Amino acid sequence: MKQIAVIGSGTMGNGIAHTFAQFNYQVNLIDINQSALDKAIQTITKNLDRQVAKGTLIEDQKTTTLKNITTYTSIPDGIQNADLVVEAATENVDLKLKIFKDLDEYAPAHAILASNTSSISITQIAAVTGRGDKVIGMHFMNPVPVMKLVEVIRGYATSDETTRTIMSLSQSLEKVPVEVNDYPGFVANRILMPMINEAIYTLYEGVAGVYEIDTVMKLGMAHPMGPLQLADFIGLDVCLAILKVLNDGFGNPKYAPCPLLVNMVAAGKKGVKTGEGFYKYTSGSKDLVVSDKFKKS
């Protein structure tokens, strides 16, 4: 595999493009919005500069990585020579199904179609294509250039050959691929999201405050980041979407989203991306400041 196409230039998409390009794959980064693509290249450049400053890359590698990325605003143009297409669009079932119908129509017959979905069924996605054996999940972790795990999800029809190819490809990126089967939330989010949801319930029910809940988990369980801070980092809207997938998929009330989470997303308080969630975020500041909404009087 030499030619990689990435659909979506947001946080995950630009991270996936960055990672493949850094390991000398030719990457077509595709988004319908040119300004989003320009922003993605700026983000990749900034992250490469950070790697150079830390000594994990040299300047020539940064230059080569950027040269390996070409941007497109058209799916047919961007995937016509792809060996692998990785979809990293918004976590929305209808949108992903539409994208995969287009990918199946315009990608070469040999191309593998992968989704970076964090919870949506690979089997459901594959069913809208004519190549179910070549559809698979590649769930990268954020930030993609740093995090080692790739959750490789086999749909009902995914072939052994496709799975072996993606496992090997992930290793070529110096990642650690873990093969899992296609059930709601897979492994990572099936375990993580109920923990985050329970932390939100703990706040909602007045058991403890934001700082206290996160401190217990960081110092008591050796988590590098508390669950409420992590929820802000992931995006509260994303957390809500995944919990809905779990709740719908299993029909078990233990996955029902906390009403506080529902209200925060409805109010536009989605975490880091909007500048406020359980904490407030100011550009250029690394201080962790609890949102005024949750400060003790």
> What is the band of 296 on the pLDDT scale with cuts at 50, 70, 90?
confident
CATH number of 3-181: 3.30.70.2740, 3.90.226.10, 3.40.50.720, 3.30.230.10?
Answer: 3.40.50.720
Q: Is the pLDDT reported for residue 125 higher than 80?
A: yes
Share of the chain above pLDDT 70, in %: 100
Which sequence positions are flagged as catalytic? 118, 139, 151, 189
pLDDT score of 248 more than 70? yes
Q: Is the pLDDT of residue 1 over 90?
A: no
As a whole number, mean pLDDT of residues 1-13 equals 96
Domains 3-181 and 189-291 are alike in CATH topology: no
How many C-beta neighbours within 10 Å does residue 254 have? Answer: 10
pLDDT at 245 over 90: yes
Asked if residue 2 lies in contact with residue 83, where contact means CB atoms within 8 angstroms, the answer is: yes
Which parts are annotated binding residues? 8-13, 31, 91, 96, 118, 142, 273
Residue 285 banded pLDDT, cuts 50, 70, 90: confident
pLDDT at position 53 is 96
Q: Residue 297 pLDDT more than 70?
A: no
pLDDT band at 283 (very low <50, low <70, confident <90, very high): confident
Q: Does the pLDDT of residue 230 top 80, yes or no?
A: yes
Question: What's the pLDDT score for residue 286?
Answer: 82
Q: What is the pTM of this model?
A: 0.92
Q: Which helix (H) or strand (E) holds 140?
A: strand 135-140
Mean pLDDT of 116-144: 96
Mean pLDDT of 243-268: 96
Q: How confident is the model at residue 46 (pLDDT cuts 50, 70, 90)?
A: very high
Name the band, by pLDDT with cuts 50, 70 and 90, for residue 226.
very high
Beta bridge partners of 85: 5, 113
Q: What is the mean pLDDT of the chain?
A: 96
What is the arithmetic mean of pLDDT over 216-234? 97
pLDDT over 90 at 274, yes or no: yes
Average pLDDT over residues 236-254: 95
Tell me the per-residue pLDDT of 171-180, one tens digit each, with 9 for 90 and over.
999 999 999 9
Residues in binding site for NAD(+): 8-13, 31, 91, 96, 118, 142, 273
Note the CATH architecture for domain 189-291: Orthogonal Bundle (1.10)
pLDDT band at 163 (very low <50, low <70, confident <90, very high): very high
CA 18 – CA 27 distance, rounded (Å) = 9
Reported for 9-13, long-range contacts at CB under 8 A and 24+ positions apart, including other chains, are 9/33, 9/36, 9/37, 9/39, 9/40, 9/71, 10/36, 10/40, 10/88, 10/90, 11/142, 12/88, 12/116, 12/140, 12/142, 12/144, 13/40, 13/88, 13/89, 13/116
Q: What is the pLDDT of residue 166?
A: 98
**Residue ranges of domains in the chain:** 3-181, 189-291
Mean pLDDT of 283-293: 89
pLDDT (mean) for 200-216? 98
